[in-house]
Amino acid sequence: MSLFGKKEEQVVSESDVKRGLKKKEFVFYYQPEFDLKTNKIIGVEALMRWNAPDRIIPPDEFIPVLEKSGLIKDVTDFLCRETLTDLKTIQQKNCPDAVMAVNVSAAQLQEKSFNVIVHKVLEETQTEAKFLECEITESQQMVLPEMSETVFQQLADAGVAVSIDDFGTGYSTFKYLRYLKNIKKLKVDCDFVRSLGEDARSKTILSAIIKMAHDLQIPVLAEGIETTEQKEWLEKNGCDYGQGFWFSRPLPLDQLIAFIEKK
Ligand code: C2E
Ligand code: CA
Ligand code: CA
């Protein structure tokens, strides 16, 4: 484990991942995002899973392998096509304005073809650009600051929403807030939400993040909400949106539809 609690050892090999991709074993689970005031679903985040023959493998175990091997670039078309097709089904279930949020790695952004693929799939699935949201973590942006900025801005200019993921965990946060225009939302990392009950300092920091984002006209989403206390504190302190096990775990499409229909 690293200082931040992330697994560092590589438990799956590149050839395993290649085989999995070939056999189309990668799937998406969807976790709904909610408006904290209205409790309405505003969109879903696509979280990749590897449906391997012996177990379901979480992304922390295979995304680093995809990134290191460069295979992540081959995933962009699949990522957009699969999730935007599923978005159609979700929107038909009483969520006409739901947005599909996808996680994008720096290695994907590095490909000049990234924007081209995104636009091709938007057209082929007949999806308006505003229904796609690309989430980039600030640590990934740090790897490729200039390139990310360009692709970011091109996406934003074309109407695709771009959000900053895991806000507060990296080092480039403030630079990006300064330079990038049209950030759709700022997603505050689970760690901040988890520490809410622990000390007053966490509350002070979270309040300051919300105020700063709002001063910049950027809405804030809190990740990893697990308790009623966390949800209520965030709502009371002006946080716009939330996501976490308190609302729903990430679900396969059919279970997500059942969840939406029960609401
Ligand atoms: P992330 O983008 O920060 O996604 C949120 C993670 O928090 C997800 O883990 C989700 O299952 C988990 N989570 C949601 N609510 C709660 C909660 O209330 N409590 C706790 N403890 N955890 C919660 P997951 O699905 O294992 O994904 C891990 C990371 O893998 C993601 O972090 C994202 O950075 C990456 N990832 C997932 N799918 C993709 C993908 O398609 N492409 C890329 N490049 N990265 C992906
Ligand atoms: Ca994310
Ligand atoms: Ca996150």
Q: Residue range 114-142: average pLDDT?
A: 87
Of all ligands present, the nearest one to the C-alpha of 105 is 1
* Ligand 1 nearest-atom number relative to CA 29: 25
| Residue 140 in contact with ligand 1 by CB distance below 6 A | no
User: Would you say residue 2 lies in a domain?
Assistant: no
Q: Are 143 and 170 in contact (CB under 8 A)?
A: no
Cα distance between residue 69 and residue 28, in whole Å: 21
Using one digit for the tens of pLDDT, what is the confidence trace for 180-222? 778 899 999 999 999 998 889 989 999 999 999 999 999 999 9
Centroid of ligand 1 to alpha carbon of 47 (angstroms): 6
Q: Best-predicted range by mean pLDDT among 34-43, 102-111, 187-196? A: 34-43
Q: Residue range 14-20: average pLDDT?
A: 95
Query: What pLDDT is recorded for position 230?
Result: 96
Handedness of CA 43, 47, 53, 54 (dihedral sign): negative
| Residue 79 in contact with ligand 1 by CB distance below 6 A | yes
Q: Are 204 and 196 in contact (CB under 8 A)?
A: no
H/E element, 67:
helix 59-69
- Domain housing 87: 14-262
User: Would you say residue 3 lies in a domain?
Assistant: no
| Residue 168 in contact with ligand 1 by CB distance below 6 A | no
| Residue 163 in contact with ligand 1 by CB distance below 6 A | no
Centroid of ligand 1 to alpha carbon of 204 (angstroms): 25
User: Would you say residue 221 lies in a domain?
Assistant: yes
Question: 107: pLDDT confidence band, cut at 50, 70 and 90?
Answer: confident
Cα distance between residue 263 and residue 240, in whole Å: 20
Percent of the residues in the chain that have a pLDDT greater than 90, as a whole number: 68
User: Would you say residue 22 lies in a domain?
Assistant: yes
The CATH code of the domain that includes 195 is: 3.20.20.450
User: Would you say residue 48 lies in a domain?
Assistant: yes
User: Would you say residue 134 lies in a domain?
Assistant: yes
pLDDT for 23 beyond 90? yes
| Residue 238 in contact with ligand 1 by CB distance below 6 A | no
Centroid of ligand 3 to alpha carbon of 189 (angstroms): 5
Q: Residue range 219-239: average pLDDT?
A: 97
**Across all residues in the chain, what is the average pLDDT?**
89
User: Would you say residue 84 lies in a domain?
Assistant: yes
Question: 86: pLDDT confidence band, cut at 50, 70 and 90?
Answer: very high
Q: How many beta carbons lie within 10 A of that of residue 93, not counting itself?
A: 16
If one counts the domains in the chain, the total is 1
User: Would you say residue 33 lies in a domain?
Assistant: yes
pTM of the model: 0.94
Q: Whose CA is nearest to atom 43 of ligand 1?
A: 103
C-alpha triplet 68, 72, 76: angle, nearest 5°:
165
